Structure formats: structure tokens, C-alpha cells
Amino acid sequence: MAEFKERIKDLRLKKGFSQQRLADLLEVNKQTISQYERGVRFPTKENLEALCDAFNVTSDYLIGREDVSPVLLTGDELALIDMIRNTDSAISVPLARKISLLNEAQLEQLSAMIDVMFQSK
């Protein structure tokens, strides 16, 4: 399994973040990020949580307890996953499957229909 220092650097590069950009997100200095990536320093609980949020991964993945590579998701994709998890799976899973089969034009039509439904309330 990969170590924390390898995971943080790999995720940072996959996200396209410089060390400075990640430092700015965490409100730490660039040296702190460099120290994390060299294994010289480990983040505080608060910074570990901020790193997990920045990379959309679990702390178990980040510290090497879990070896399942995360999929880097957008905010919309995470919101959709949360919605599916928090609704009746008998409805949401088949609906999500149907939506995944739609092309771009059909998705735009569906979005417009949903907008109309919310406007009429």
C-alpha cells in the first residue's frame, strides 16, 4: 500500500494543483505541503479533513488504510451520489441507470423539465 506522502502528491498532481495552490486551500504555507509530501510532517486532524475534502477521498485512503483508488469526482457528481444514497434505492437506482443512458440533448431536455416542475411549485 502507498504511504500518505505518496498519496498526497499523487492526488495533488491528478487534481492539477501546485503545492502553493493546495497550501492556499488549506491555509498553510507551501513548506507544509512539501513536508507532507516528503514524509517529514503529518497533518493535524483539521488539515487531514481539509485534504480529504480537497481531494474528495476518505481519510482511510489518504493515510493508506484503504487501497481502493478513488475516482476524482466533481461537486455535481458527489451531490448526485449523496442524493442516491439518501433516497429510496428502489426508485433512485433504476432512475440513475436510465439517466446514464441519455445523450447530451436528452439530458438538457430532462433538466429543463425538472426546472419547470420546480417552478410550478
Domain layout of the chain by residue ranges: 4-63, 75-119
User: End-to-end CA distance of the chain, in Å?
Assistant: 51
4: CB partners within 8 A, 6+ apart: 36, 39, 42, 62, 63, 64
Highest-scoring range by mean pLDDT, 4-8, 69-73, 94-98, 104-108: 4-8
> Do the beta carbons of residue 50 and residue 11 sit within 8 Å?
no
**Which top CATH class is 4-63?**
mainly alpha
Distances (CA, A) of 47 to 16, 29, 67, 101: 19, 12, 21, 39
Q: What is the pTM of this model?
A: 0.57
User: Could you report the per-residue pLDDT of 24-77, keeping only the tens digit for each?
Assistant: 999 999 999 999 999 999 999 999 999 988 888 888 889 888 776 656 666 676
Q: In the chain, what percentage of residues exceed pLDDT 70?
A: 79
* Residue 6 scores a pLDDT above 80: yes
